[in-house]
Amino acid sequence: MSTENDGPSSKCEYAPYTQGSAFTYLNINQSQDSTTYTLTVNGDTTINGNNYRKLGDDSVFMCSGCTDGTYTQVASLLSFDGYTASDLRITYLKDFLPLGSTWSDTINVTNNGISTTAYLQYTITEKGTSRVVNGIAFTDVIAVQMDASASVLSSTMPIGTLSTSYYARGVGLIEADQAQDTTRLIKYNIK
């Protein structure tokens, strides 16, 4: 059995992205406008020597990977409160860490044409809980809060909480709450 940070080896059960699996989400913004989309796992890719599963549809595309309970994602765009980042790699979950644990990522962002460094801090706010999403009860859920700050004139300024995401064992992302919208899983089919 391998270990990482003194944690037991993980089977990466919080992202069961097997070929052909599909996850349908409903996104509702502050104006109560809604969009439904389905992310389908369609193959593998290698980026900078790391292996990822490709997930997407006609409008959304991302790559997700997991090694020993550390889940990473390569996304095409992140935006919040005037800050944007493109082609970024983030570590969105470490399923072996206990409740209250934190980790961070450093990314490059742009705000009004000015590039700077931003810091993403993740905190496990729930672990082993249950959550009902769109009438479906999920167990063994991990919640991760993502907060951001940016380097401005040699100081680090808080940007705020970007999201709280909920991951269920055997399913993956079931809900993501952000200031501007909420995304919830409607249905899924794991192959």
- pLDDT higher than 50, residue 5: no
Q: Mean pLDDT, to the nearest integer, of 143-163?
A: 87
pLDDT digits over 118-134, tens only?
889 999 999 999 999 99
Is the pLDDT score of 158 beyond 90? no
> How far are the Cα atoms of 65, 85, 116, 158 from residue 113, in angstroms, in the given order?
31, 12, 10, 19
Mean pLDDT score, 22-32: 91
Show the domains of the chain with their CATH numbers. 3-189 (2.40.360)
- The pLDDT of residue 122 is 97
Does the pLDDT value for residue 39 go beyond 70?
Answer: yes
Residue 8: is its pLDDT beyond 50? no
Rounded to an integer, the average pLDDT of 181-191 is: 94
pTM: 0.85
Tell whether the model's pLDDT for residue 4 goes beyond 50: no
When pLDDT is cut at 50, 70 and 90, the band that residue 85 belongs to is low
Mean pLDDT, the chain, rounded, equals 84
